[in-house]
Structure 1
Amino acid sequence: MGNVCDGESRQSQPEIELAPRVAQPQGEPIHAQPVLDIEAASEASRHDSSGIPLQTDTAHHDPTTIPSQQEPRRPCRFYAKGYCKSGDTCTLLHGKPEEDDGEERSKENKKGRDSIRELGGAWVRFGPGAAATEIILPSDFSAVRISNLPTGFSTQLIEDMLWRAGLNRSRCDIYVSSTKKDTAMVRVWSPSFPKKAWGYLGTRNPDLEVVPIPVPFPVGSNLRRVDCREVQFTWYRPSREVNLIFSTREAALRLHRQVPTGFTVHGYRVIAHPPALGDDLVTWVVRLTGLPEIVRDQDVIQIIPKRHWPFQNQIRYLVYTNDTETESTFVRSMLDEYGPLERWEVSEISEGGQIKGQAVFFEESHARNAATSLDGKRLPFSKSRRLSTTLVTVVKFDVLPRVYEVVQDQINAHKRSWEDQNIDFAAIPPRGSYVTLQLKGCDRESMAKAKHELELILAGEVMRQRGKNIWHSSFNNTGEAYETLKTIEKELGIAIVRDGWLSQFRVFGAEGRQALVAKTLNRLIKDISSPHVIRLDQLSEFCWAVGGGLEEIQSQLGQEKAAFDESSDSILIQGSEDDLAQAKLIMARGQARASGDSLKPKQYCQICFWVAEEPVMTSCNHSYCDHCFVGMCEAMATNPGEFCITCEGDAGKCRKVFELAEIRSLLLSETFDKILEESFTSFVQRHQDQFRYCPTPDCSQVYRATSRTEKEPPEFTCNNCLASICTACHAAHPALTCAEHQDHASGGLQALNKLKKKLGVQDCPRCQTSLEKIAGCDHIICEGCGTDICWVCMAAFDNGDACYQHLMTVHKGVDYD
């Protein structure tokens, strides 16, 4: 497949070896280079925002080429890794890898995969000494969908189009839709690529439709797909008001007390306002608002008891009577001002006269600005009605169907709570190998909590015993051992996901039965393990074994995998060929330590200088206590320099940098993961100009910092807590520029408010327009939104009559200046 990189920053971005597609269990850090492998996208992610399934034909590989009828070609291992320098001239097969129920293993790429972890919302590459060497974020990539392409086009045609438009296409992925023959997707390592492609391609090829789309995530990635591009909006159809006129205040009060709160007429919710003195200053009026435009006198009378009938009804006429289609056009134009829309939908009018709809923007920043700026804004076709807008957050999880089946009860236990918080949960039927679980809501804090609850369920549990993963290499393949594993799944009603790279089982649906599952897996491994014998023919070998060598093997492999057989003077290894090889290596190192007096000092810990307890022997032939070695690794995080684990042997003179594989072999799985996390944290702290942590307390997600000089710095939506942060000034300020936010934060707003108070300037309670009263009565009309306002208390009204009535009854006059 094609390489991925931003052409304009290619010199600054190192060439990265890509790993093959890997389906990873939910909740566990992924160890491939997934962000660079579009084939690693889940089946649910292989559909662009229009739901178009995408073929896996990429740049430099023409999907229309028909292979000749020859003997099947071997797969190209370079193409499987993500790139092939030979391109179209390669004689090996460039095809889609076979799927295996979301689990796929390859020993060939284990080493490279072990060096990459998913931490803090990023893919992190680690090198020698467990040093973090590179951080790659999903936001580093972008994708566009190109439609209306000519019939029979090839990926080469798209490459040529990009080249003619002045867009670097040397490292990009091009995917052709399998259902829409005129559509393709282009993915590039460059956040700004969609804007450039949109402008350049659209200008040179006006018939093409070029739109940005979300970048698909790799299979099993712990980076949940968080989408904040949808804005929900509502407004009301025109409504009438009815004045019920009474001769006395007492009669008006009796009616007001008798009318039920929130009663409806033709499905419209009607509000009865308290009695107010009429314009003639003699009669009393109870105003009913929110009535449908088709209301008649008898409709109003029917809801009033006969003994409380007024002596006169006064139905006010509507000024604005636009149809729904016309109003929708106005609303869309308001949204279009903030950016292009990917999707737009308006629902039918509800019984209460409310019109609802949703608009999906191509870019999240446009949606966020629209939701913030348009909420409460007066509609252009009405003086009294306003638009309500809300930003919607959508979080999606891709899970294996068998995993979803066993955790459904756990999810259902939370659904009622989610519904109470207006959070919708949906399980989208599988496309390919995965079920997509979706949470959708408007309140960020509630959504973050629901997301965390669902993540805990989908994380499953890694089966460990005495700090070591329960695992056997036989499960790397789909053989007899795997078939037995599926039988255990059915018997216990659980799902077991294998991870050959991390050498672990992740179990789902085993609440309260973890010990039983661990015992069952251990028994299975014992049954399938082949016994191996290490004969102790030499006296030195026997002395080493009984003098602590056996315990050293057991500490590395596990207590249950090594035993001493007195009848044959042998060590029995109950495990795989890898276990046997590791035991022999431990024995050889032990023999080397005991072979001469010159090596005796190496038997002492290089940290505490005592005889090493539970000794750890390094490749440079230095010994450490197990806990001293762990402490040395952890101490690297507090060093002022680069994080790098080196040997402290020979009084600190050795300084050999340990390879990552060696560090992993000398540490428990949990400790190794912790060391990598500390290395990652150290890297971020030393590169504050490039990376920042989400400012939400206890949130560990990172984002790429941008320069304050950027005209429109991108926003970062935290994958964990769902907070939205400006990547330039590292604060949340929707609908404000960094300068405006800085002005507010530095005291400019306080100073302005102080000056406004001194000058007698007040803000409109609805649109915040600053108003100054020069002369006249205390009833004013906002020039910004047309709201009638009481200047004394800044109360807002829908009409002048209501404002005057308020002034007379509450403030006892209108007070002309």
Structure 2
Amino acid sequence: MAIPKFDRPQTVHLGEPSYVPDPDRDSGIVKSMLLKLGPLEQWSVSSDTGAKRFNAYATFLYESSARDAVSTLKDTPLSFNETTKLSVALVASAQFKIQAKVYNAVSPQIDELKTVWMRQRIGVSEILLKYPFRMLKLECEDHKLMVQAKTALEKVVSGQIVKMDGKDFRFGNFRQNGTGLKHIKLIEDSFKVVIIPDMRKSQFRVFGPEEYSQSTLDKITTMLQDCTPEGHVIELNSADFRWVLRGGLRLLKSRLGEGKVYVKISTSKTRRLFIRGSKEDYNNAVAIIASKQTMASGKGSISEMECPSCLCELEDPIRMSCGHIYCSDCFIQMCEAEKTATKEFRIRCVKATDARGSICQKPFSLSEIQEHLPVEAFEAVLEKSFESYISRHPGDFTYCQTPDCNQVYRNSPPGPERPDTFTCKQCLVSICTFCHTSHPGKPCDEAKRIAKRIGKSILSDETKKALGIKSCPNCSMLMEKRDGCNHMTCKCGAHVCWVCLMSFNDGEACYTHMTKAHGGY
């Protein structure tokens, strides 16, 4: 605004500036102030040198250090400018790695969420990744708003599960071959959607620019049902498997038809025969297996040109370190199946080395598994490997005790002077890793006194009893029994008696205990 002529000063003398910005010096001083509170994992400074202030982002190695920074450094005068104070805020962030084709399909829904997030001051940025993925990052100082934003985005990028008669439409016999994918492409083009087969859960997920009505999903279900033939599963015991190897599979294919029978060997003990056809085809297969007849041409022979997992001619073959060759798709599905195992996670070769059913069983290294798996499948394998490690070290880890939350944190050792604080990435609840209660900003001694009165759970014993929830005696993970017998299997691998909460290493010991101690299951 211009100064009126009668108010203008006669002379103006410019003094020496009270502050000369030096980005390297200034950011270095701020960084040193943070380092006094704990080591940093990351440090970055905004590149806008013309701004009146600069923004810096620090990631501490320990969350307690970040909380100390907020409580002790906020509004602290800065040594390089006596009129300037340091502004510090604790920011919650979340990253979402999304398939590019899924992101493109749901982008209108994401744009609507961005409009809401802008009003709530939730920052959204996109991190460049190699195709076929996109990465979205959310940042917000308000943890409650961040949980709401995460939940909304998770719902969008999870899609809608295809259902039939109110239940998930399963496709246990669907194969991602050329024919199956061609049918899915036709449905996608018809409804302008993206359909992703979730092989691990045997589900179809639908993604689109909006949440579709049930009538639209019903039409998609009908079309998927038409291209997914009726299927039946026969579990093969050791004797049945030896019969398959000696020529039984060739006999089944000759009697029922080449396209109706296939084998899937996921582990050395998990062998299944899939029948694509009617109930009559299934009954005929059961009768043929019981007869133990074989085709003379296949007697005692194991072809090196057959995939060890499906026992069919190799398609897109890959050779493993043990020398045995798999279909590329079969190897991926074998790794997918292993992720659901409750025992120690280990992917081994399932090649039968002789007609008696002896198995190679050589473990595959992580590097060769990575070489032959898609990125998303390999990341799931890493997650399962981590879960397996946790189950073998139950004393070192604890599950977040918020209901329906499956995050894990490492326990603080006994007698720590300052235990760490874990903020769950899923529900953003802050938990002391020593006493396992939520007491942000309060000393752990007080929390331990509280823990003695109400137990080491976010939920009191009275609340858990009212909800029908109990804690695993091995790792404290909350459990709920909705149906079935009193044998519970926790994520940590413990087999638990629901009645008295005794834990066992295997299910057989648990059943024996329930029979003796409680008179049945």
Could you say which structure has the larger radius of gyration?
1
Task: Give the TM-score taking structure 2 as reference length.
Answer: 0.49
Q: Which structure has more RCO (C-alpha within 8 Å, separation ≥ 6)? A: 1
Task: Give the TM-score taking structure 1 as reference length.
Answer: 0.32
